[in-house]
């Protein structure tokens, strides 16, 4: 299936110069960002059916994150553009979904604020480290944090009881786990940054 998708994309009438930038993984990433406008239907305060539909779109977008990374590694088409776009796309989709659920009362504003502040802080740390010629590798904590956020946001999007299960309650429980991982992973990045700075000075 993946091979067929790659061959089909390669047959598209796109100039080779453009394909170097807008390759298959990067195109999937851009499409993931393109799903964001559909999330604004949350502001219409959808009922059970509409909430499940929007949650499905969100899950679909989240799965493309795994797909573009897999394709990039399998066909060795990891690019600077891809490294830049992929994490931005993830944060845009997840953070947009959380922000849109605040006025609906499905998610506490203070939790969303902490998560977004952490993301900006980590991005700032990475930018400073890069300017100093340092590379701070991503840890498993960050990936676990993102995964918890996806599960939490999905459940909170569903919101209404589903198959006898309180989706909102489960979503909040997972969200608190995601919050702890968010704070811990942010502190981990900060400690790694200061360690690299000290090592460089020595």
First to last CA, the chain: 51
Query: Quick one: which of 178, 22, 60, 42 has its CA closest to 115?
Result: 178
Distances, alpha carbon 195 to alpha carbons 20, 104, 116, 132, in Å: 36, 42, 24, 13
Rg (C-alpha) for the chain, rounded Å, is 19
Q: Model's pTM, two decimal places?
A: 0.84
Residue-wise pLDDT for 18-49, tens only, equals 656 677 777 788 888 888 898 898 888 888 99
3 state SS of 134: coil
Q: What is the pLDDT of residues 108-125, one digit of tens each?
A: 999 999 999 988 888 887
2-201 topology per CATH: 1.20.120
Average pLDDT of the residues of the chain: 82
Please name the helix (run of DSSP H) or strand (run of DSSP E) that holds residue 176, with its range, or none: helix 167-201
Q: Where are the domains of the chain?
A: 2-201
């Amino acid at each position: 299936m993946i091979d067929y998708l790659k061959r089909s994309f390669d047959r598209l009438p796109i100039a080779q110069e453009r394909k170097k930038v807008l390759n298959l993984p990067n195109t999937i990433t851009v499409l993931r960002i393109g799903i964001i406008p559909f999330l604004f239907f949350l502001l219409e305060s959808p009922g059970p059916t509409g909430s499940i539909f929007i949650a499905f779109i969100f899950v679909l977008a989240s799965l493309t994150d795994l797909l573009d990374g897999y394709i990039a590694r399998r066909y060795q088409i990891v690019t600077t553009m891809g490294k830049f776009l992929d994490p931005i796309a993830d944060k845009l989709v997840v953070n947009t979904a959380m922000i849109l659920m605040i006025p609906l009362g499905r998610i506490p504003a203070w939790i969303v604020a902490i998560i977004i502040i952490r993301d900006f802080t980590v991005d700032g740390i990475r930018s400073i480290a890069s300017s100093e010629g340092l590379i701070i590798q991503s840890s498993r904590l960050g990936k676990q944090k993102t995964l918890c956020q996806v599960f939490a946001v999905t459940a909170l999007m569903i919101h209404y009881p589903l198959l006898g299960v309180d989706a909102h309650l489960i979503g909040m429980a997972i969200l608190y786990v995601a919050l702890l991982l968010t704070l811990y992973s942010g502190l981990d990045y900060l400690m790694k940054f200061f360690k690299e700075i000290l090592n460089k000075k020595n």
